[in-house]
Structure 1
Amino acid sequence: METQQQPTITIDIVFDRNQAREALRALLHAILFHRLFGIVKPQKFDVLDVTFPGVKDAQIEMLVDERVEAFWTGMEKDPGKQAQITVTFSEKRQRRTWFTMGEEEVPWEKWIINAKVRQPRPEEAAAFREELSSALSNALMTILTHSSSEQGRAAVPPITNASGISPFPLKISVKVGGVEVNV
């Protein structure tokens, strides 16, 4: 069976301690908004004058909130460490070996958010907010550009199951300092 390397999209960002949760929640929602193929009820998130699309769905909101809290918990325990939030989209494929048959999840796209949290000094606060706003705009542009690109469209496998908000399994994991964090 031919194995194709899935696209990996990386976003590097340094959050202000005061906006970290809100900004990460908006970024995750924007990625999901552009990669869920079921019927998506939209919502929006405004963070530092940047408007992000979001998904209004109880399960998705709970998943995102859990991962944002895991991120925050990890960052509180280990301030100064880098965190990595990974969103992986997979497809289910039939797996056949000599003695068994079954399904396996094969990733078709991975998003990696490399994040740090900083508390700027009062004299740096305005400039840092401006930098973060610009970084969030750039991250949103990365999401939009990839999702609408030829490579981004080609990465999506055929949709064979139209039930639910996502026809594909999705996983969001959080690592702080290389250690996986769960809530």
Structure 2
Amino acid sequence: MSTGQPEITIDLVLDRHNTKEVLRAVLHSILFHRLFGTVKPRTFEVSDVSMPGVDDPEIIRLVDEKVESFWRGVEGGANKRGQILVTFSEKRQRKSWFPGIMGEEEVPWELWTINAEIRQPTTAQERERFNEDLKSTLTKSLKVMLTHTSSERGRSVVPLITNAQGISPFPVKIVVKVGAIEVG
């Protein structure tokens, strides 16, 4: 899918005990770096990694709803892999050859893909290795977020902010897929 918009991918391997906590923290961190309104910060401590988040009731509800959808999708089926897609868009006037068919359309300018797989370590040694790998992955994910959002390309894709009302001047859409089927 080459639409010209940046696509940032984060791959996670999780276990049943930390799936919700990790996904919640990663989603909050992405939103923290891409919401341009007045953001009240909060911190998530996951596997000894501090991740930034957004302390806003609407954002908390949205993230919790999507994490629960992901959990129900992987918990209820045989597929233990899924994706959470976060799309940032801008509203533009729709162009049409026909009069009366004007209006606004949402044009994506950035896509974040979180690929998550649930595995279950069986021994204490596997558990220890698993936790170290998760800590490393979360640290790398934060570095990807920071590097992208502060890079020239990451800054240049952000459209002009014409509406300074609310926590985000741009529409944010979060889609959950398990087994290539949208859930929630």
1:34 aligns with 33
Q: Aligned partner of 2:129: which letter?
A: A
Q: Give the Cα separation in 1 of the matches to 2:3 and 2:69.
A: 31
Q: Distance in 1 between matches of 2:95 and 2:153?
A: 29
Number of equivalenced pairs: 180
Give the TM-score of the pair, scaled to structure 2.
Answer: 0.95
**Aligned residue for 2:94?**
95
Say which SS state the counterpart of residue 31 (structure 1) adopts.
helix
Q: CA deviation at 1:79?
A: 4.2
The answer (yes or no) to whether the contact 2:176–2:183 under 8 Å persists in 1 is yes
8 A contact 2:79–2:179 mirrored in 1 = no
Matched AA of 2:145: I
Partners of 1:14 and 1:4 in 2: CA distance: 28
2:77 & 2:114 partners in 1: Cα distance? 18
> What is the CA distance between 1:81 and its match in structure 2?
3.1
Asked if structure 2 preserves the Cα contact closer than 8 Å seen for 1:71 and 1:176, the reply is yes
Alignment partner of 1:46 is 2:45: yes
Q: Secondary structure at the match of 1:96?
A: coil
Aligned to 1:130: 132
Return the alpha-carbon distance in structure 2 between the equivalents of residues 37 and 170 of structure 1.
12
Q: Secondary structure at the match of 1:33?
A: helix
Partner Cα separation in structure 2 for residue 130 and residue 16 of structure 1: 13
Say if 2:120 is the partner of 1:119.
Answer: yes
Q: 2:83, 2:178 within 8 Å by CA — same for their partners in 1?
A: yes
State the secondary structure of the residue aligned to 2:159: coil
The match for 1:86 is: 85
**1:92, CA displacement in angstroms?**
0.2
CA contact (8 A) 1:26 1:47 kept: yes
CA contact (8 A) 2:79 2:178 kept: no
Matched residue type, 1:37: F
Determine whether 1:69 maps to 2:68: yes
- CA positional deviation for 1:120: 0.6
CA shift for structure 1 position 78: 2.1
Unaligned residue ranges in structure 1 (runs of 5+): none
Alignment equivalent of 1:171, drawn from 160, 170, 173: 173
Q: Distance in 2 between matches of 1:161 and 1:55?
A: 20
**CA distance in 2 between partners of 1:86 and 1:46 (Å):** 23
- Give the ranges of 4+ consecutive aligned residues of structure 1 lying more than 3 Å apart after TM superposition: none
What percent identity do the matched residue pairs reach? 61
Within 2, Cα distance between the matches of 1:4 and 1:85? 19
Cα offset, 1:80, TM superposition: 4.1
